[in-house]
Structure 1
Amino acid sequence: MEFSEMLAALALKVRNQRDAIQTEEATKNAFIMPFISTILGYDVFNPLEVVPEFTADVGVKKGEKVDYAIMRDGEVQILIECKKSKEPLRIEHASQLFRYFAVTNARIAVLTNGETYQFYTDLDAPNRMDEKPFLVLDLMDIDETLIPELRKLTKDVFDLDSIINAAEELKYIGQIKRTIAAQFKDPQDEWIRFFTTRVYDGAFTQKVREQFTSLVTKATKQFLNDQVNDRLKTALGASTFSPAIGDAQAASITSQEVAEDDLERDTEIQTTLEELEGYQIVKAIACSEVKPQRVMHRDAKSYFAILLDDNNRKPIARLHFNGKKQKFLGVFDQDKVETRHPIESLDEIYLFAETIRGSVKTYQD
């Protein structure tokens, strides 16, 4: 599995099991140990790499423990403090991390509840853990721009200098993005005033504030939707054109095949945003084997087909999303026999990455 696929698979596990997790120990076993093992790549059963219940005497605080210490060359590199799943993370939860950060060689501290991971370092003062994280990973809503930075913390490519150098920019960009997201969800007066005074010439009275609160909220949401739609159109633009077909390949196309293609195209089709998002996931998986412009799509009444070279004889996957309740992902074996798998969310498509790649490889061979 690719790094992003392993992250998506863990996110799916967390989403499916979070309601069954009731204690901190269960959170560690079900979510956090798999994160340390599969995502960061450290052996949780090797005390030379991962030390559970790590103890370091800190002044008068004797015998206090941090849940995990990740070691490299006999030195502590990362400290991890865990809280119960679904329990909101607060800086007050990090008291042990603050103390241990100052008396160990660790430059990275992590506070987590198994769903959200807050990464800290010492940007504000040397050997003193910052009060605000430089990176926040939310498995329920993964920010793909953070994946390359997260990968720098993994065992195979651990690059502390690069992490620290990028931490300040990550810290402020992350805080700005979270602030913008909060304003989109529940705009404050300063946000309302900022936009109102740029489009309205009158005084910013209470009545005007109330009027423009709904207008600014609606405008920001519409702007966000427009940006998403524009990105989808851009991403799919290359897929609207078939690759050039050589003379030999063109000669092999018969009128029967063209007729069959026409029959499969349906005139009463409604392509949904969810189908396009699913297509992008399958396309991203298949791009490890072929150029992205070769992965095409066709929509029909009963399913959304994803094809290699826009050829219905080269099916990669099918999205059966037209049902009112259950969604299905159709994948193909070497004989082009489709098997439908029920899925609850688009993230589950990543679980079939190897099968999808296998189909593409078959057509390449």
Structure 2
Amino acid sequence: MEIRERAQALALKIRKHKASIETEEATKNAFVMPFISTVLGYDVFNPAEVIPEFTADVGTKKGEKIDYAIAHDGQVQVLVEVKKINDPLRIEHASQLFRYFAVTNARIAILTNGEVYEFYTDLDAPNRMDSKPFLVLDFSDIDDTLLPELAKLTKESFDLPSVISAAGELKYIGQLKRVLAAQFKQPEDEWVKFLTTRVYEGSFTQRVRDQFLPLVDKAARQFLNEQVNDRLKNALGDPDVYVGVSGSAAEPAANESSQPGADSAQKAADGAAEVFTTEAEIEGYRIVRAIVCSEVPAARVVARDTKTYFGVLLDDNNRKPIARLWFNRSKWYLGVFDENKVETRLPITAVEDIYAHADQLRDTVSRYLDKPNVVEPVHASTVRLVAT
């Protein structure tokens, strides 16, 4: 199993169980030990590889312990300090890591709450742990670009010199990405001024600032929209997919509004900003589409994400729901529909469980195909066809 698959499996476990974890010890057992064993590949029950409650006396500090020390080739290489799940990580939490880093051979220190892992080394001064991490891995939203670097710390591919060599670049790239993310979310005046003066020749007054602030925000949303759209088109293999600015996948509303305009486009962008489409939802969409392709062409099965669920529709028609993926919660559900379009939520534990309900999904699509168009009177002189 590749490191990406191992990381995604742990991410799924964290999502399912984090709400029930209330203590630091439970965080260790439920998430950190699986990270060390499943993702990094070390035997947590072999004291030659993983040392729990690692002790190394530091000056006048006697008997202090680090939660875990990871050894490779007989030398302690990585120190791990654990905090309770959902507790925000602060540098103040790393005081023991700072002290131990100076008196052991370890070049890597990890501060984690079981979901977010901050990796530190000694770029600024030899044998002194930096105050800022060079890599931050968040299992609620895994950045795939970081996984090759994480792989260098695994038992089978341990390559500390390469990690240290890349740490300086990773540190600043990570910080820059977080700064950019903050500016896209809520532009600061300096950011607005920087962009405005590139396109506006007049003085940057308060009036100009007020005029350009919403324009910068809108331009940023549209730019992200286009970038994510291209990425998810490739991921879904569908050239017609529309993607919201935060990564929501949806089809163009062909059966709703046929007259696009500035207002509707802005509403779509604003709504999409509050929607986030996960890889699990994309995978679930692919599975549903693959199942019902026995009944209809794949192009007719479209995705539309919302704040609360990820919908799969026939012909992008809200009146023809095929399934709903309720994945924005600790417990997952697959929503299926009966002949009256009444939804039943079926609990699932993994995306692959959707296959167990393949017959229901096919039956739903078949019912829509079996219903003919009916005539609905509008007034005495005209009628229109309505698809039921």
What TM-score, normalized by structure 1, do the two folds share? 0.70
Q: 1:67 to 1:231 in 2, by over 3 A?
A: same
Alpha carbons of 1:194 and 1:321: their partners in 2 closer, same or farther (altered >3 Å)? farther
CA offsets 1:121-145 (integer angstroms, 9 cap, x no match): 1111111111111111000010000
1:135-184 deviation line (CA, Å, top 9, x unaligned)? 11000010000111101100011011111111111111111111101111
Amino acid at match of 1:81: E
Displacement of 1:349 in angstroms is: 3.6
SS where residue 85 of structure 1 aligns? coil
Extract unaligned runs of 5+ from structure 2. 241-253, 257-274, 288-296, 305-320, 327-331, 337-344, 356-388
Task: Return the alpha-carbon distance in structure 1 between the equivalents of residues 168 and 200 of structure 2.
Answer: 37
Residue aligned with 2:9, SS: helix
Q: Which residue is equivalent to 1:123?
A: 123
Structure 2 CA distance for aligned equivalents of residues 350 and 102 of structure 1: 47
Q: Does 1:206 align with 2:206?
A: yes
Residue 116 of structure 2 corresponds to residue 113 of structure 1:
no
Whether the 8 Å contact between 2:152 and 2:159 is mirrored in structure 1 is yes
Structure 1 Cα separation of the partners of residues 137 and 163 of structure 2: 15
SS of residue in 2 equivalent to 1:323: strand
Which residue matches 1:55? 55
CA contact (8 A) 1:302 1:322 kept: no
Secondary structure of 1:77's partner? strand
Which structure would you say has the larger RCO, counting Cα contacts within 8 Å and 6 or more residues apart? 1
Shift of 1:321: 6.0
Question: Any idea what SS the aligned residue of 1:216 has?
Answer: helix
CA contact (8 A) 2:325 2:335 kept: no
- Where do 1:80-91 residues align within 5 Å? 80-91=80-91
Shift of 1:90: 0.5
Contact 1:321 1:328 in 2 (8 A): no
Contact 1:83/1:113 (8 A) holds in 2: yes
What residue in structure 1 maps to residue 184 of structure 2?
A: 184
Aligned CA distance change for structure 1 residues 274 and 183 (closer, same or farther; 3 Å)? closer
Higher helix share: 1
Matched-pair contact (CA < 8 Å) for 2:236–2:286: no
Q: Give 1:1-365 correspondences, 5 Å limit.
A: 1-234=1-234, 281=283, 298-300=298-300, 322-323=323-324, 328=334, 348-349=350-351
Q: Match of 1:243?
A: none
In the alignment of these two chains, the number of paired residues is 290
CA distance 1:136–1:321, change in 2 (3 Å) = farther
Could you tell me how far 1:238 is from its partner in structure 2? Answer: 9.5
Output the CA distance in 2 between the equivalents of 1:284 and 1:150: 28
Kept after mapping to 2: 8 A contact 1:329/1:349: no
RMSD over aligned Cα atoms:
3.7
Q: Give the Cα separation in 1 of the matches to 2:280 and 2:76.
A: 41
CA distance in 2, matches of 1:351, 1:43: 30
TM-score, structure 2 normalization = 0.66
Instruction: Return the alpha-carbon distance in structure 1 between the equivalents of residues 138 and 298 of structure 2.
Output: 33
8 Å CA contact 2:6, 2:39 repeated in 1: yes
Identity fraction in percent: 63
